[in-house]
Every structure is written in structure tokens, then in C-alpha cells.
Amino acid sequence: MRIQLSDHFNFNKLIRFTLPSIAMMIFMSIYGVVDGFFVSNYAGKTPFAAVNLIFPFLMILATAGFMFGTGGSAIVAKKFGEGNPQQANQNFSLFVYTAAAVGVVLAVLGIIFARPIATLLGAAGELLDNAVLYARIILIALPFNVLQFLFQSFFVTAEKPKLGLITTVSSGVTNIILDAILVILLPQDLKLVGAAIATGMSQVIGGVLPLVYFYRKNSSLLRLGKTKFDGKALVKACTNGSSELMSNISMNLVGMLYNVQLMKYAGEDGIAAYGVMMYVSFIFASVFIGYSIGTAPIISYHFGAQNHGELKNILKKSLTLIGVIGVCMIGIGQLVAVPLAKIFVGYDSSLMQLTVSGFRIFALSFVFMGFAIFASGFFTALNDGLTSATISFLRTLVFQIAAVLLLPLLFGIDGVWFSIIVAEFMAVVFGALFMVLKRKKYNY
């Protein structure tokens, strides 16, 4: 039986409904890991470091999709809860068309400024050339990547989370197959180009398949069609999604700062080690992000329907699930540190040792990460973009910047890894504070 947004959710139903979104995000993270594996093992350490150096810049540009997806789906789901499906579909179409246009503009700007940005991040010589080459190829597919991120949220709002998973799997399999063909078979000087083409083509698949589905007559709640310009709805979507925009931009800006600090304390090896940790941590964080994406339309629907009892039910069960998962993740992180490091950098013993020690410290942050991600997503779903953005801003920018600048002065390279734990813990404290302060306003 199909689970609907209007249902009452017990633990079983909540897990079943959110599981496709969680699996979707995990799979997206895994094919990113596979991409890193091929570059590191076949293209070499310098191209791998170049990819990790420029990757945060590419993700910043793609975050427009997160903004329109999370912010827009909160509005659309709320409209369904209010009993206004026609307006919901008009808004959905407007958000998709606008996101695509924004993606084209950002792609052009990114291609133009790729070299100055890479230079600003400290790249020079071969590292600089590799970073710019990889970025410019990837950016050609940026409009599709923006749409791919947007549709991750809207598939759930359409009550079709499994289709979102199928789309992501199709995109990921494309990336893996093309990586295996292009990176392995192409000459050494073209392996990085092959990796970039593989990633770009996977993003095209991830953006085109949902477009085709929603343009055609379908059995979901949503369909692309004619729309009217609604500046108020666009501003509201951007405001609602500003937390996810802020979170992703801040996270990647901080990633750039981490690379600068690591270059200072550990050189190119530090950036490579951090790259491995980021690839792997995306898998762990994707569980929480996927859960937040999966629950957001439910929260928005019941908020629009003024069903406060169900809001309380979803919040209580979500906090319980996130706590249990976070504790389990710490143990898993300690167990997989060595084998994962071997997969990526087993060819360099000193780099592997640096990666393992860093990841074991980094993994302690998982118990706090889930609560911070969910708190931000919860307020986005309630159409309270300001509170959500504040939590994200503090978590991904203020706390991490302060920690990564100060702690290495006391603990050296280990201070870089400890800074993530400190930032996530502080984000949980402030997230909990906002939930207490806003409880009467939203009656959850």
C-alpha cells in the first residue's frame, strides 16, 4: 500500500517512507567515492589532490538546486496540505524552470572564474592545471546537476521517493561504468579528463530523467506544465531553502579553508587525506541528509493541515532514530578506517597513516551531526527559513571556522580533525535551544 503524506506515521512507516531518500543519498555518496577511487589509484596523487581542492567550489555552484528543492518542496507540500493542488503544481513548475536558468548562468561564471579560484586556494603548476581542467569539464553539466539536487526533494513531495532512488542509481551506475572505461583505458594524461566526463554525464542523466517523468502524464502528485511568474513564491522558496544553501556554501567554503590549513600543516598529503575523509564522511552524513529530505514533506504537509499532534509524533520519533543511528556510526567509523584508507591511498604508507588517524578522530562527530542536520531541515519544512539558516550558518561557518583556525595552534594537524567535532557539538546545542524556544509558536 502506498504511503501518503497525510498518513499517521509509526516507526515502521516512517522508516519505510524515508528509506528510499536515505538510500538515494547514500548511493550518490558512494558513486562519489568510486570516482575518487579511480582518480587516486589510476590518475595519481596530484590529480586526486586537484579534484579535492576544486570540488568545494563546484559544490557551491550546485547548491542552487538544494535551495530550490528544499525550500520549494516545503511550499508545495504545504499547499497540498491546505488543499490547493493547482497552485502547488504551478509553483513546482516555476521552481524547476528558474533553477535550470540559474544553473546555466552559474555554469558560465564558473568556467570563467575557475582558474582565479583555484589559484586563490593555493594551487600552482600541475596542481593548478589539473584543477582547472577538471572543473571546466564538470561545469558544462552544472545545470543538470542543479536539477538533480532539486528533484531529490520533489520526488518525495510527489510521494514517489522510490523513483528518486531509481534516478540516482541510474546516474551513479553511469558514473561508475564510465569511470571504469575512461579512467582505466585512456592514456595517463587523459585519465583526469575521463573522470570529469564520467561525472558530468552522470549528472546529465540525473537531471534529464526527472524532467522527462514530470513533463509526461504520471501517477504522482506533481507534473510540470504552464506556470505564472510568482515573485513572492520564489522569494519564499529561496528564504526557506536558504539554510540548505547556507549549509552547503558554508561547508564548501570551510572545506577550502581546511585545504589551506592542511597545506600549511601537512602539504599535499594533508589535502589528499582530507579528500578521502570527505568522500567517506559523505556516506555517513548522507543517511541524515536523506532522512531529513524524506521527512520534510511530511512535516510541511501536516504543518499546512494544522495537524499538530502528528508534528509532535514525527519530531519525537525522528530524534530517537537519529540518536541510535549516530551512536552506531561512531563504532562503524572506527572499524572501517583502515580498510577505507587502504582502498584510496594504500600505495603511500605515510599518507595512509595520516588518513586513518584523522578519520578516527573525525568519526566522533557523527553522533552530533545527525541532530544538527535534522534541526535545520525541520525548520525549513516549517517554512521558517530564518531559523533554519541561522542553525546552518552557525554550524557550517561560524563554529567550524573558529575551530579550524584555533585548534591547530594547540594540537597541530590533529586540531584540524578535532575542529569538526567541536563545531557539530555546538550546532546541536544551538539547534536544541531553537527547538525549545520555537515550541509554542509551532505547537509541536
pTM greater than the 0.85 cutoff: no
Give pLDDT, residue 83.
85
pLDDT, tens digit, for every residue of 128-145? 999 999 999 999 999 999
Query: 366-380: b or e for each residue (b if 16 or more CB lie within 10 Å)?
Result: bbbbbbbbbbbbbbb
Q: What is the rounded distance in angstroms from the CA atom of residue 406 to the CA atom of residue 409?
A: 6
Q: What is the rounded distance in angstroms from the CA atom of residue 229 to the CA atom of residue 398?
A: 36
At 261, the pLDDT band (50, 70, 90 cuts) reads: confident
CB 383 within 8 A of CB 73: no
* pLDDT > 70? residue 252: no
* pLDDT > 70? residue 310: yes
Give pLDDT, residue 70.
84
Q: What is the rounded distance in angstroms from the CA atom of residue 355 to the CA atom of residue 270?
A: 8
Q: What is the rounded distance in angstroms from the CA atom of residue 151 to the CA atom of residue 206?
A: 9
- SS3 letters across 128-189: HHHHHHHHHHHHCCHHHHHHHHHHHHHHHHCCCHHHHHHHHHHHHHHHHHHHHHHHHHCCHH
Amino acid symbol at 443: N
Kindly state the DSSP code that residue 364 receives in the 8-state scheme. G
Q: What is the rounded distance in angstroms from the CA atom of residue 367 to the CA atom of residue 361?
A: 12
At 122, the pLDDT band (50, 70, 90 cuts) reads: confident
At 115, the pLDDT band (50, 70, 90 cuts) reads: very high
Cβ neighbours around 8 below 10 Å, total = 11
Long-range contacts of 322-327 (CB under 8 A, 24+ apart): 322/288, 322/291, 322/370, 322/371, 322/374, 323/367, 323/370, 323/371, 325/287, 325/288, 325/370, 326/366, 326/367, 326/368, 326/369, 326/370, 326/371, 327/367
Q: What is the rounded distance in angstroms from the CA atom of residue 27 to the CA atom of residue 23?
A: 6
Give pLDDT, residue 325.
93
Half-sphere exposure of 124 (CA within 13 A, CB side): 4
Give pLDDT, residue 136.
95
Q: What is the DSSP string of 15-32?
A: HHHHHHHHHHHHHHHHHH
Kindly state the DSSP code that residue 365 receives in the 8-state scheme. G
Give pLDDT, residue 162.
85
List the one residue out of 10, 440, 67, 36 whose CA is nearest residue 247. Answer: 67
